[in-house]
Amino acid sequence: MKNSRLIAAYSFITFTFGVLFLRYGYLQLINHTQLLQQSINNYSSIVATQPVRGQIVDRNGVVLANNDASYVLAALPKYLKGSQKQLFESLSKYVNITTLDKKKFYATKNNSKNYDWVVIKDDLSDKEIASVTSHAYEFPELSVFARIKRNYPFDELYSHSIGYVGRISQKDKQKIKNQDYVSNDYIGKSGIEQYYESTLRGHLGKKSIKTDANGNEVGLIDNTAATDGQTLHLTIDNKLQKLAWNLLGDNNGAIVVIDPNDGGVLAFVSKPGYNPNWFIDGISLDDWGDLMNDPKKPLLNRGAQGTYPPGSTFKPFLALTALFLGVLTPSSTVYDPGYYVIPGSSHRFRDSEKVARGTVNLMDAITYSSDTYFYKLGLDLGIDRADDVMPMFGFGKKTGVDLPIEDSGLLPSREWKAKHFRDDYQKNWQAADSVVFGIGQGLNHYTPLQMAFATTIIANEGKVITPHFFKNTTDKNNVLIESYIINSHMLPIPNTYFKFIKSAMQNVVLKGTAHGISGGLQYTMAGKTGTAQVVAMNKDNRSAKFQGKQYKDHAWFTAFAPVDKPKIAIAVIVEHAGFGAASAAPIARKLFDYYLLGEYAVVAHKPNDAADTNDQLEYSDANQSNVESGE
Q: Which residues are catalytic?
A: 312
Distance CA 586, CA 619 (A): 7
> Residue 54: which residues within 8 A CB-CB, separation 6 or more?
199, 200, 201, 202, 228, 229, 230, 231, 232, 473
Nearest-CA neighbor of 584 among 256, 235, 353, 264? 256
DSSP of 479-544: -EEEE----EEE-SS-HHHHHHHHHHHHHHHHTSTTGGG-TT--S--EEEEEEE-SS---TTTTTG
Backbone angles phi, psi at 194, to 5 degrees: -80, -45
In terms of Cβ atoms closer than 10 Å to its own Cβ (0-12, 13-18, 19+), residue 99 is: exposed
Distance CA 554, CA 440 (A): 13
In terms of Cβ atoms closer than 10 Å to its own Cβ (0-12, 13-18, 19+), residue 15 is: exposed
Strand partners, 530: 556
Distance CA 99, CA 88 (A): 11
Sign of the dihedral defined by the CA atoms of residues 371, 373, 379, 381, in that order: negative
Angle at 309 between CA 303 and CA 311, to 5 degrees: 110
Backbone angles phi, psi at 343, to 5 degrees: -50, 130
CA 549 to chain CA centroid, nearest Å: 27
The answer to whether the beta carbons of residues 144 and 73 sit under 8 Å apart is: yes
The answer to whether the beta carbons of residues 234 and 283 sit under 8 Å apart is: no
Query: Taking the C-alpha atoms of 465, 468, 474 and 476 in order, what is their torsion angle to the nearest 10 degrees?
Result: 180
Distance CA 245, CA 239 (A): 10
Distance CA 299, CA 26 (A): 67
The answer to whether the beta carbons of residues 101 and 133 sit under 8 Å apart is: no
